Structure 1
Amino acid sequence: MTTQHSAAADQPLQQAASPAVPRVALVGVHGFGERHLANLSRLEQAGALELVAVADPNPPQAGTLAAPVAVFPDLDGLLAARPGVDVVIIATPIQTHAPLAVTALEAGMDVYVEKPPVASLAQFEEVLAAARKNGRLVQVGFQSLGSHALPAITEMVAAGDVGTVLGISATGQWLRTKAYFKRSRWAGKRTLDGTDVVDGVATNALAHAVATALHVAGARTLADVASVETDLYRAHGTESDDTSVLRIRTANGATVLCALTLCAPEQLDPTVTVHGTLGDITLSYTKDEVVITAADGERRETYGRTDLLENLLDARATGAPLLSALQDTGAFTAVLEAIRTSPAPAPIDPGSISWEGAGDDAHPVVHGISDLIGRAVKAQATFAELGAPWARAIPPVRTMTVDGRPVADCQDGSHIRAVSSPRPYLHPVRTLGGTVVTDHQPLDHVWHLGAGVALQDVDGVNFWGGRTYTREAGAYVWRPDHGTISATAVQQTDAAGGHGGTLQETLSWNGPDGAPILLEERSWAWSGVAPSTWRLSLDFALSPAGSTPVSLGSPGSNGRFEGGYGGFFWRLPACDAVTVWTPDGSGEAETHGSVTRWLAWSGTFDGGPATLVFVAPESCTDPWFVRVEGYPGVGQSLAWDAPVIAQPGEQVRRSVTVFVADGNLATADIEALINHQGDPS
Structure 2
Amino acid sequence: MISHSATAEPDSRPEDSAAAGTAVPRIALVGVHGFGERHLANLARLEEAGALELVAVADPNPPAPGRLKDTVAVFPDLNSLLAAQATAGARADVVILATPIQTHAPLATAALAAGLDVYVEKPPVASLAQFNEVLAAAESSGRLVQVGFQSLGSHALPAIRTLVESGGIGEVLGLSASGQWVRTKSYFKRSRWAGKRSLDGVDVVDGVATNALAHAVATALHMAGAHTLAHVASVETDLYRAHETESDDTSVIRVRTAHGTTLLCTLTLCAPEQVNPSVTVHGTRGEITFFYTEDEVVISTPDGERREKCGRTDLLENLLEARSTGAPLLAAVADTGAFTSVLEAIRTSPTPEPIDPAHITWEGEGDDAHPVVHGIVELFDRAAKAQATFAELGVPWARQLPPVRTLTVDGHPVADYQDGSHIRAVSSPRPYLHPVRTLSGTVVTDHQPLDHVWHLGAGVALQDVDGVNFWGGRTYTREAGQYVWRPDHGSIAVTSTDAEETAAVTGGAEGRLEERLSWNGPDGGPVLVEERRWSWTGVSASAWRLSLEFALSPAGDQPVSLGSPGSNGRFEGGYGGFFWRLPECGGAKVWSPAGTGEAEVHGTVSRWLAWTGTFGAGTDRTGDATLVFVAPESSTDPWFVRVDGYPGVGQSLAWDTPAIAEPGSPVRRSISVLVADGSLDTTDIEALITQQGDLS
Question: Could you tell me which residue of structure 2 aligns to residue 53 of structure 1?
Answer: 56
Q: How does 1:57-136 map to 2 (within 5 A)?
A: 57-82=60-85, 83-136=90-143
Structure 2 residue aligned with 1:139: 146
**Whole-angstrom CA distance in 1 between matches of 2:198 and 2:2:** 46
Match of 1:397 in 2: 404
Aligned counterparts, 1:152-171, within 5 A: 152-171=159-178
Q: Deviations for 1:295-350, whole angstroms, at most 9, x for unmatched residues?
A: 11111111000000000000000000000000000000011001101111111111
Q: CA deviation at 1:383?
A: 0.4
Q: Structure 1 unaligned runs (5+)?
A: 8-16
Q: Distance in 1 between matches of 2:21 and 2:551?
A: 81
Counting only pairs closer than 5 Å after superposition, residues 454-493 of structure 1 correspond to structure 2 as 454-493=461-500
Shift of 1:153: 0.3
2:197 is matched with which residue: 184, 190, 215?
190
Alignment of 1:575 onto 2:575: no
- Cα distance in 2, alignment partners of residues 567 and 295 from structure 1: 31
Distance 1:19 1:319 in 2: 13
Q: Which amino acid aligns with 1:536?
A: L
CA gap of 1:546–1:309, structure 2 versus 1, over 3 A, is: same
1:342-421 matches, within 5 Å, as: 342-421=349-428
The answer as to whether partners of 2:2 and 2:159 remain within 8 angstroms in 1 is no
2:662 corresponding residue in structure 1: 647
Deviation at residue 225 of structure 1 after TM alignment: 0.5
- Equivalents in 1 of 2:490, 2:573: separation in Å? 20
Mapping of 1:131-530 within 5 angstroms? 131-494=138-501, 496=504, 498-499=506-507, 500-530=510-540
2-side partners of 1:62 and 1:438: how far apart? Answer: 66
Q: 1:540-561 CA distances to partner (integer Å, 9 max, x unpaired)?
A: 1111111000000000000000
Q: Deviations over 1:537-593 (max 9, x none)?
A: 111111111100000000000000000000000000011111011112111111110
Corresponding letter in the other structure for 1:668: T
Q: 2:10 maps to which residue?
A: none
Query: Could you say what secondary structure the match of 1:215 adopts?
Result: helix
Aligned 8 A contact 2:3 2:159 in 1: no
1:608 to 620, 623, 631: 623
Q: Of 533, 558, 565, which residue of structure 1 is paired with 2:543?
A: 533
> Contact 2:117 / 2:143 at 8 angstroms: preserved in 1?
yes
The 2-side partners of 1:315 and 1:19 are apart by: 13
Kindly provide the CA deviation profile for residues 116-155 of structure 1, in whole angstroms up to 9, marking residues without a partner as x: 0000000001011111111100000000000000000000
Q: Could you tell me how far apart the structure 2 residues matched to 1:422 and 1:251 are?
A: 21
- 1:465 and 1:498 mapped to 2: Cα distance? 37
Secondary structure of the residue aligned to 1:498 is: coil
Q: Deviations over 1:503-548 (max 9, x none)?
A: 1011110111111111111111111111111110111111111100
Partner of 2:25: 22
Tell me the percent identity.
77
Aligned equivalents of 1:426, 1:538: Cα separation in 2: 11
Aligned counterparts of 2:455 and 2:300: Cα–Cα separation in 1: 24
AA aligned to 2:40 is L
Deviation at 1:415, TM superposition (A): 0.2
Whole-Å separation in 2 of the counterparts to 1:198 and 1:566: 48
Return the alpha-carbon distance in structure 1 between the equivalents of residues 30 and 501 of structure 2.
67
Distance 2:375 2:218 in 1: 26
**What are the superposed Cα offsets for residues 147-182 of structure 1, whole Å, 9 maximum, x if unpaired?**
000000000001100000000111111111100000
Alignment partners' CA distance in 2, 1:266 and 1:574: 26
Contact 1:5 1:302 (C-alpha < 8 Å) held by counterparts? no
Question: Which one-letter code corresponds to 1:261 in the other structure?
Answer: T
Following TM superposition, by how much is the alpha carbon of 1:604 offset from its aligned partner in structure 2, in angstroms?
0.6
Which runs of 5 or more residues in structure 2 are unaligned?
7-19, 617-621
Partners of 2:609 and 2:629 lie apart in 1 by: 5
CA RMSD of aligned residues (A): 1.5
Q: Secondary structure at the match of 1:63?
A: coil
After TM superposition, the score normalised by the length of structure 1 is 0.97
Tell me the distance in 2 between the aligned counterparts of 1:100 and 1:168. Answer: 34
The residue type paired with residue 559 of structure 1 is: G
Q: Which amino acid letter does the alignment assign opposite residue 122 of structure 2?
A: K
Equivalence for 2:47: 44
**Aligned partner (choices 595, 598, 603) of residue 593 of structure 1:** 603
**2:265 corresponds to which letter in structure 1?**
C
How far residue 20 of structure 1 moved from its aligned partner, in angstroms, is 2.2
**Residue aligning to 1:667:** 682
Where 1:569 maps in the other structure, the secondary structure is strand
TM-score, normalized by length of structure 2?
0.95
Number of aligned residue pairs: 672
Runs of 4+ that moved beyond 4 A? 2-7
The answer (yes or no) to whether the contact 2:506–2:538 under 8 Å persists in 1 is no
Match of 1:662, as an amino acid?
D
1:81 Cα deviation from its structure 2 partner: 1.8
Preserved CA contact (<8 Å) 1:4 1:303: no
AA at the equivalent of 2:628: V
Separation (CA, whole Å) in 2 of partners of 1:35 and 1:5: 27
